[in-house]
Amino acid sequence: MEENNSNIMRLRRLGIETHTEKIIFMRADSPVCRSEGFTANTRVSVNYGSQSIIATLNVITSELIEHGEAVLSEEAFNKLGATEGDLITVTHIQPILSFSEVRAKMFGKKFNESAIQRIISDVTKGLYSKIEIAAFVTVCSGDNLALDEVIYLTKAMINSGSTLEWDEPMIIDKHCVGGLPGNRTTPIIVPIIAAAGLIIPKTSSRAITSPAGTADAIETMTPVNLSLEQIKDVVRQEGGCMTWGGAVKLSPVDDVIISVEKALDVDSAGQMIASVLSKKAAAGSTHVVIDIPVGETAKVRSKEEAFLLEYYLRAVGLSIGVGVEVMITDGTQPVGRGIGPALEAMDVLSVLRNEPDAPTDLKDRAVQLAGLMLEVAGAAPKGRGTDRALGILESGQALDKFYRICEAQGGFREPVPAAIQHDVLAMTSGVVQAIDNRKLAKVGKLAGAPKSAGAGIHFKAPIGKYVKQGEPLFTIYAASQGELSYALNFLHSSTQIVQLAAL
Amino acid sequence: MEENNSNIMRLRRLGIETHTEKIIFMRADSPVCRSEGFTANTRVSVNYGSQSIIATLNVITSELIEHGEAVLSEEAFNKLGATEGDLITVTHIQPILSFSEVRAKMFGKKFNESAIQRIISDVTKGLYSKIEIAAFVTVCSGDNLALDEVIYLTKAMINSGSTLEWDEPMIIDKHCVGGLPGNRTTPIIVPIIAAAGLIIPKTSSRAITSPAGTADAIETMTPVNLSLEQIKDVVRQEGGCMTWGGAVKLSPVDDVIISVEKALDVDSAGQMIASVLSKKAAAGSTHVVIDIPVGETAKVRSKEEAFLLEYYLRAVGLSIGVGVEVMITDGTQPVGRGIGPALEAMDVLSVLRNEPDAPTDLKDRAVQLAGLMLEVAGAAPKGRGTDRALGILESGQALDKFYRICEAQGGFREPVPAAIQHDVLAMTSGVVQAIDNRKLAKVGKLAGAPKSAGAGIHFKAPIGKYVKQGEPLFTIYAASQGELSYALNFLHSSTQIVQLAAL
């Protein structure tokens, strides 16, 4: 199509934030809307020099903007690299051919390698609208992806971004398949492994459906938004790092997909495997230990499910050249006492500092995982890894290494819990029988976690504990009264989270 | 939660059109954003008197609006019934509990009756975001709904809106399972049936994935946005009507779902059956004849698929008390010559006017369907319906009734084709072997149909016709050069739409 002069418009900035959505505002009576037939919600191509993005059109029927002007949302300004006063053109978008593969999948056709590559490439380029991504997430959800589809997806996600290369022959990493509140072993394991002289360039994700991701928790203690160059410097200096994967372009498409999964509060086995292993492969890892907590209200509910996941992880790992070891752990209750970024970080610090009241479950789990990693890396004989990890932790070497990594990442700070607190009390006396982790996570999220880093839950009633009537089961932390009320409303309208049985 | 005075804001109107999306714009530094933790893209409840809607938040970081002001998109103003200067409050939304059923369906759980009722009720209330509706549409797509789920969905959709009641014991209706360009039999059948003295309160839909829906085509000849009261008046007076179903509240949730299906360019058998039969039941129909065109590039591709669909339609009809008869027809090529609202309407008029060059395929199909309807209604003996229908058409009674119905609906006008025309020529001579209906429909859509009522295609090369090199296969009609170029770009990048074989 010939470029048309009437398509040229001058940008105006009105400071409109729309999260990751790219919006363009134009007058309904503008020549481009009239000649091209654009109306509200049309997806259009916005072109600035050699850059172009796809944006959703909102039309203005008032005199808010002048003739010849167009307004972009802040996200669109940033993506284009344009500023107020710059000239843009607005044109039709090409049909997104790869979406026909998503449509075919809805009708039961399997993805082939080329289909997934084209879809992931188009999502990476920002061509998919949110609802198109929602449809893709949905067709990949549950057990709708077969092993070969997961392998294609993993490879496509590795190819969607940058990769890290290392001189060392062995790069070790770990990952936890979430779903268990408070299970924040990473900032304990990384310093243990690095103190043992191994290389562990750990990048973590932010929360998908939980009240805190590992990156959210670590961010309350040290900066996590490091570039690839900064990560290399930190790892070269200290042997390990603890950063946010989304800040670098390792499998960048993952974050786009995750933002939709988050809005739908859903994630799927196939996508999770591809997400995890693509990030590990892109980070240059050669060996990965994966923690799968199993429990009725954890993400993985049964041992059978965990075994199947282990099979998928190993098989996909094999096909992309990453050695995978799995540790199946107890997922029946929260690990540690904090749920939410700052509250979890406080647990981590008390373990690293060998405080007498540090949560032993968190400590035990971190040391076991670190032990397996040491064994996998040949840094401890079979069966002796846990002992070696415990030695490094209890000698203070791990704490020392933790502070050094934090300093290298930009400095250490103490995490700060939210100001407003509310105790949830036991209505009767009894022994804790079971805990609904999903509902507990939901209360933490409604209280504001992870957006409010200090918000969340301090949990006080582990399974087997005898609790007296009127004693606190847990404390809710919130940054605003509105969020506290919201969490309490859910609590009152919902069935018991902590089940007690009379003695 | 206590209502908080800092939540009260004064509305300002800036004329921002966002189609069906409801948006609220507030300052990032407003007390409500800060105290409630609202950020860009938060879904919030906007309350005005006893009315409330859910809207998506865009935050403003400039001085575009004053402290204490909030701006709504036009759709949000309309839904709330508020005007500039009115006071609103903004609060957290309750979690949408029914969405957990959609999530469970992703993981393979079947919907039960209560789950579907709650989902449809929440979608009807506007609680679902677009991406949540996209996930619902996707889990219902393909053959993912079993018969009982389709029955639940149909009943839930009937209950979601108004219903029409009639004094007559027999109300007859028809429907075509789309996918075949130009198959516009409704405005021919309705006057034939009404002229025969039967009652046919026909409501039609607008295009989902096609270049024109029946309502779009009829609208180029007469108003179709009639209220329930107006429909009753027209039918009382003339025995039949031809209106847009979306203008009345018969199964209103259908239009919300369809707008997402349209953006995804997908529809599913289960949802289609529920959509069709819920509208028929809500309109008070006792008997429905359903036309299923079958062809490789039609919506239904094989006879087997059509037989299965017939089974579903009959079984669901039985469970909701509507008698269903199916006619399986030829879907290998377009019916009539026009594709697009006005161009299809012109075909309809030439049949009704008994013009010598009227498209015989359209005429034959309309008369056969009308004939079956007359037989079903007992207005013609078995095997004599077609003859009676033909008699009513050729005598001019149908045309007379058509004009009377149009007059009752607000007046008749001639449809007007778009101004810009472009002939697509045969590159070689040969006999037409096959036609790709999907691609043909796509060209019509890219040319602007149905949004531009005059845009579309005039088709000139039916299967079996001998076409000489350089003769036109079809003519593209467009309202703007941009849209014409867009259609031509697709044409050039795509494989042949009309396949010719040398003699």
Out of A267, A291, A361, A436, pick the active-site residue: A267
Residues B283 and B378 in one domain: yes
By C-alpha distance, which of B212, B219, B259, B226 is closest to B19? Answer: B259
Shortest alpha-carbon distance between residue B173 and chain A (Å): 30
Strand pairing category for B240-244 and B200-204: parallel
Check residue B194 and give its pLDDT. 98
By C-alpha distance, which of A284, A260, A228 is closest to A123? Answer: A260
Strand pairing category for A466-467 and A8-12: unpaired
- Between CA B9 and CA B91 the distance in angstroms is 12
By C-alpha distance, which of B164, B175, B268 is closest to B214? Answer: B175
Residues A19 and A59 in one domain: yes
Cα B3 → chain centroid: 41
Check residue B247 and give its pLDDT. 78
Q: Cβ neighbours of residue B298 under 8 Å, at least 6 residues apart?
A: B179, B180, B331, B332, B437
Shortest alpha-carbon distance between residue B490 and chain A (Å): 9
Check residue B173 and give its pLDDT. 95
Count Cβ atoms below 10 Å from residue B165 Cβ, excluding itself.
7
Residues B382 and B263 in one domain: yes
Residues A299 and A239 in one domain: yes
- Between CA A82 and CA A71 the distance in angstroms is 11
Final residue before a domain boundary, out of B76, B92, B108: B92
* A59, β-bridge pairs: A26, B17
Chain A interface mutation, best of B7, B19, B439, highest count of A Cβ atoms under 10 Å = B19
Task: Please compute, for residue B260, the number of CA atoms within 13 A of its CA located in the half-sphere on the CB side.
Answer: 27
Bin B340: left if φ > 0, else alpha if -120 < ψ < 50, else beta.
Answer: left
- Between CA B216 and CA A308 the distance in angstroms is 51
Residues A388 and A477 in one domain: no
Q: Cβ neighbours of residue A302 under 8 Å, at least 6 residues apart?
A: A294
List, in sequence order, every beta strand (DSSP E) within A295-443. 323-330, 338-339, 420-425, 430-435
Considering CB atoms only, which of B4, B35, B142 is closest to A107?
A: B142
Cβ–Cβ gap B485/A1 under 8 Å? yes
Cβ–Cβ gap B36/A482 under 8 Å? yes
B167 lies in some domain: no
- Between CA B219 and CA B278 the distance in angstroms is 23
Its domain, for residue A402, covers: 172-248+276-409
B21: nearest CA partner in chain A: A41
| CA distances for B32 relative to A265, B29, B63, angstroms | 25, 8, 17
Residues A20 and A61 in one domain: yes
Q: Encode B295-324: b = buried (16+ Cβ within 10 Å), e = exposed.
A: bebbbbeeeeebeebbebbbebbebeebeb
Cβ–Cβ gap B138/A135 under 8 Å? yes
- Give the long-range contacts of residues A48-54, CB within 8 A, separation 24 or more: A48/A80, A48/A81, A48/A82, A48/A86, A48/A87, A48/A88, A51/A80, A51/A81, A51/A82, A52/A80, A53/A22, A53/A79, A53/A80, A53/A126, A54/A22, A54/A93, A54/A126, A54/A127
Check residue A2 and give its pLDDT. 39
Residues A431 and A340 in one domain: no
Residues of chain A neighbouring B23 (CB-CB closer than 8 A) = 58
Considering CB atoms only, which of B74, B107, B486 is closest to A142?
A: B107
- Average pLDDT rounded to a whole number, residues A386-399: 98
- Average pLDDT rounded to a whole number, residues A256-282: 85
Helices vs. strands in chain B: H and E counts, helices first? 18, 19
Strand pairing category for A287-294 and A323-330: parallel
Considering CB atoms only, which of B15, B131, B489 is closest to A60?
A: B15
- Between CA B331 and CA B139 the distance in angstroms is 28
Check residue B404 and give its pLDDT. 98
Considering CB atoms only, which of A92, A134, A485 is closest to B486?
A: A92
Residues A304 and A449 in one domain: no
Cβ–Cβ gap A479/B37 under 8 Å? yes
A269 lies in some domain: no
- Between CA A192 and CA A392 the distance in angstroms is 6
Query: What amino acid is encoded at A272 in this protein?
Result: M
Cβ–Cβ gap B36/A137 under 8 Å? no
Specify whether B347 is catalytic: no
Shortest alpha-carbon distance between residue A452 and chain B (Å): 8
B415 lies in some domain: no
B108: nearest CA partner in chain A: A142
Which two structure tokens, joined as six digits, stand for A99?
């979406």
B270 lies in some domain: yes
Considering CB atoms only, which of B16, B135, B263 is closest to A138?
A: B135
Q: Report DSSP letters for B380-399, one per residue.
A: S-TT-HHHHHHHHHHTTHHH
A131: nearest CA partner in chain B: B131
Which two structure tokens, joined as six digits, stand for B336?
């009539």
Give the three-state DSSP class for A415.
Answer: coil
Cβ–Cβ gap A58/B35 under 8 Å? no
Shortest alpha-carbon distance between residue B116 and chain A (Å): 18
Residues B491 and B346 in one domain: no
More confident residue, A254 or A402: A402
Residues of chain B neighbouring A94 (CB-CB closer than 8 A) = 489
Shortest alpha-carbon distance between residue A28 and chain B (Å): 9
Residues B242 and B375 in one domain: yes
- Average pLDDT rounded to a whole number, residues A448-453: 91
Cβ–Cβ gap A61/B73 under 8 Å? no
In tens, the pLDDT along A415-446 reads 999 999 999 999 999 999 999 888 898 899 88
Residues B182 and B153 in one domain: no
Strand pairing category for A498-501 and A430-435: antiparallel
Check residue A3 and give its pLDDT. 40
B56: nearest CA partner in chain A: A18
A98 lies in some domain: no
Final residue before a domain boundary, out of A366, A385, A409: A409
Cα A479 → chain centroid: 22
Cβ–Cβ gap A1/B264 under 8 Å? no
Check residue B289 and give its pLDDT. 96
B138 lies in some domain: yes
More confident residue, A30 or A499: A499
By C-alpha distance, which of A393, A404, A407 is closest to A362? Answer: A393
More confident residue, A108 or B215: B215
Cβ–Cβ gap B14/A486 under 8 Å? no
Shortest alpha-carbon distance between residue B392 and chain A (Å): 41
Chain A interface mutation, best of B299, B436, B486, B494, highest count of A Cβ atoms under 10 Å = B486
Cβ–Cβ gap A265/B106 under 8 Å? no
Instruction: Name the one residue in this structure whose structure tokens are 């506290």.
Output: A484
Check residue B179 and give its pLDDT. 61
In tens, the pLDDT along A334-369 reads 899 999 999 999 999 999 999 999 999 999 999 999
Considering CB atoms only, which of A41, A59, A264 is closest to B131?
A: A264
User: CA angle at residue B79 from B78 to B81, to 5 degrees?
Assistant: 60
Instruction: Kindly report the CATH number assigned to the domain that includes residue A496.
Output: 3.90.1170.30
Query: Does residue A4 carry a pLDDT above 50?
Result: no
Which ipTM score applies to this complex? 0.71
By C-alpha distance, which of B235, B243, B191 is closest to B216? Answer: B243
Query: Does residue A194 carry a pLDDT above 60?
Result: yes
Considering CB atoms only, which of B15, B21, B138 is closest to A106?
A: B138
Final residue before a domain boundary, out of A390, A409, A428: A409
Cβ–Cβ gap B39/A28 under 8 Å? no
Considering CB atoms only, which of A132, A265, A480 is closest to B37?
A: A480
A263 lies in some domain: no
More confident residue, B131 or A182: B131
Check residue B437 and give its pLDDT. 84
Cβ–Cβ gap A483/B13 under 8 Å? no
Cα B442 → chain centroid: 16
Q: Among residues of chain A, what percentage have pLDDT more than 90?
A: 64
Check residue A179 and give its pLDDT. 61
Cβ–Cβ gap A13/B92 under 8 Å? no
Residues of chain A neighbouring B40 (CB-CB closer than 8 A) = 17-19
Query: What's the structural domain count of chain A?
Result: 3
Residues B209 and B337 in one domain: yes
A11 lies in some domain: yes
Instruction: Kindly report the CATH number assigned to the domain that includes residue B279.
Output: 3.40.1030.10
Cβ–Cβ gap B17/A61 under 8 Å? yes
Instruction: Kindly report the CATH number assigned to the domain that includes residue B103.
Output: 1.20.970.10
Shortest alpha-carbon distance between residue A265 and chain B (Å): 8
CB of A275 within 8 A of CB of A246? no
* A432, β-bridge pairs: A500
Check residue B3 and give its pLDDT. 40
Residues of chain A neighbouring B92 (CB-CB closer than 8 A) = 482, 486
Check residue A1 and give its pLDDT. 38
Instruction: Kindly report the CATH number assigned to the domain that includes residue A14.
Output: 2.40.40.20
Out of B254, B267, B291, B347, pick the active-site residue: B267
Tens digit of pLDDT at every position of chain B (503 positions): 334 446 789 999 999 988 778 899 999 888 788 767 687 778 899 999 888 899 989 999 888 899 899 999 998 999 899 999 999 999 888 778 999 999 999 988 999 999 999 999 999 988 898 889 999 999 998 888 999 999 999 999 999 888 888 988 899 999 988 767 778 999 999 999 999 999 999 988 888 778 899 999 999 999 999 998 999 999 999 999 999 987 787 777 887 888 788 778 777 788 889 988 998 999 899 999 999 999 887 788 899 989 999 999 999 999 999 999 999 999 888 899 999 999 999 999 999 999 999 999 999 999 999 999 999 999 999 999 999 999 999 999 999 999 999 999 999 999 999 999 999 999 999 999 999 888 898 899 889 899 899 999 999 999 999 999 999 999 999 999 988 998 998 888 777 899 999 87
- Between CA A15 and CA B62 the distance in angstroms is 5
Residues of chain A neighbouring B1 (CB-CB closer than 8 A) = 482, 485-486, 489
By C-alpha distance, which of B222, B221, B212 is closest to B182? Answer: B212
